[in-house]
Chain A
Amino acid sequence: MESHIALAAEKLFQIGPIPITNSILTTWVVTFILIVFALVSTRKIAAVPSSLQNFAEILVESFQNLVASIAEDKTKIFLPIVASFFFFILLGNYFGLLPGFGTIGFFRVEHGQKIFVPLLRSMNSDLNTTLALAIVSLIITHFLAVRYLGIGGYLKRYFSLNPIFLFVGLLEIISEFTKVLSLSFRLFGNIYAGEVVLTTAATRFYAFLLPLPFYFLELLVGFIQALIFAILTLVFMVILTQKSEH
């Protein structure tokens, strides 16, 4: 059987007028797991932590230290946002490495061709997901910038009476759009490429042992990409909430 991974996520079914793709289905599963873990680990929160609470504390505290080293006094506001990006992306990436992803599915005839539709697809190998995350990151960053600097201080970064600074401001506006593109395409590209590598190694070459090194590589990539997304979001937030020099 030959497996081919499409660039776009495949549609599975429709709920009313809303189509549901396999990556959205995965996103829901990941969301469910994340929320359930969050609720269970903090259900019986106590000063002397249980094992699950202990694990949750390690996650939050280590990330808190990381955020605090960059954001300092704004840690309390930034931590939930940045950490949510990290945990959501990390869990999504690792979840997509589980067996069954991209391999369990069904065949559907489309345009007279028989097409294999996997039931689950790693959520970050769909540009919709990563673009959505990048857009949320951008919107929250700008929202926080307005909150910290006021609307005047926020606009001063982009608009100025000085022609040189006006041009700089224009570049800043363009850079905001490139931020979204770079954030979304970096994450999507890495995870999608990982999927392709794993599928190719398993289906075109040899399915036993050969994909194993790539799985380790993907574990590393999944972690690094989640961290990069979170840290870049954090850095953008810190930069935009500081008073501009001009």
Chain B
Amino acid sequence: MEIFKSFGIQPVFLLAQIVNFLIILYLLKRFFYKPIVKILEDRKKKIEESLKNADLIEERLQKTEEKNAQILAEAQNSARILIADAKREAENINQQTNLEARKTIEAALVEAKVQIEAQKVSMQKQLEHETLNLVEAVVKRVLGRSLKINERRQLTNKALSDIGRKI
């Protein structure tokens, strides 16, 4: 063991160094590797989770976008239908209004015609009466006598037909 002596090997020193290293080993394991390995693992887990979540979010986003597009298309479709309906309705209303207006106009026209006709008849009658009176007055002055019933009717009829022709 001469070699050990020349290297200065002594059990006390050996033991001191062994104990020293064991203390280091314990303390480092407890206060250094354990928390750091734990936090590294935690972070790894978190990152993995985040990536998974990101995938999920992307998927959901895509779905939402698809849904959005679908809703938009549906809305456009229903709007188109609505507009078409409205147009049709408007046309209907228009037509009906036109029809009614025409009817009203026609009715008014008929009424006007009837009135005109009535007026015409009354005017004819008045005219006839006045004419007869006039003719009678003229005949009385010229012939010095009244018209006979027969002549009166004849005159009247002639005048009427003349007037009717003129009107």
Do the two chains belong together in a single complex? yes
B-contacting residues of A (Cβ < 8 Å)? 6-9, 18-19, 21, 24, 27-28, 31, 34-35, 38-39, 41-42, 45-47, 49, 53, 56-57, 60-61, 64, 76, 79-81, 83-84, 87-88, 126-129, 131-133, 135-136, 188
Nearest A residue to B27 via CB reads: A35
> What residues of A have a CB within 8 angstroms of the CB of B17 in the complex?
24, 27, 128-129, 131-133
Judged by a CB distance under 8 angstroms, whether B20 is at the interface is yes
- Contact between B21 and A132, CB atoms less than 8 A apart: yes
- Which residues 8-39 of B have a CB within 8 angstroms of A? 8-10, 12-18, 20-25, 27-29, 31-37, 39
> What residues of A have a CB within 8 angstroms of the CB of B22 in the complex?
136
Main secondary structure on chain B at its contact with chain A? helix
A136-B6 CB under 8 A given contacts A39-B31, A42-B35: no
> What residues of B have a CB within 8 angstroms of the CB of A136 in the complex?
18, 21-22, 25
State in angstroms the CA–CA spacing of A24 and B14 once bound together. Answer: 10
- Contact between B31 and A88, CB atoms less than 8 A apart: no
- Contact between A61 and B40, CB atoms less than 8 A apart: yes
Main secondary structure on chain A at its contact with chain B? helix
- Contact between A79 and B21, CB atoms less than 8 A apart: no
- Contact between B18 and A132, CB atoms less than 8 A apart: yes
Nearest B residue to A9 via CB reads: B8
8 more A-B residue pairs beyond the given contacts A56-B32, A84-B24, with a C-beta to C-beta distance below 8 A: A7-B8, A24-B20, A42-B36, A56-B36, A60-B36, A88-B21, A128-B16, A135-B18
A84-B37 CB under 8 A given contacts A27-B20, A128-B8: no
State in angstroms the CA–CA spacing of A127 and B31 once bound together. Answer: 29
- Contact between B35 and A84, CB atoms less than 8 A apart: no
- Contact between A45 and B37, CB atoms less than 8 A apart: no
- Contact between A60 and B21, CB atoms less than 8 A apart: no
> What residues of B have a CB within 8 angstroms of the CB of A45 in the complex?
35-36, 39
> What residues of B have a CB within 8 angstroms of the CB of A46 in the complex?
39
- Contact between A76 and B37, CB atoms less than 8 A apart: yes
- Contact between A133 and B21, CB atoms less than 8 A apart: yes
A38-B31 CB under 8 A given contacts A45-B39, A61-B40: yes
Nearest B residue to A8 via CB reads: B8
> What residues of A have a CB within 8 angstroms of the CB of B60 in the complex?
none
> What residues of A have a CB within 8 angstroms of the CB of B8 in the complex?
6-9, 21, 126-128
> What residues of A have a CB within 8 angstroms of the CB of B15 in the complex?
132
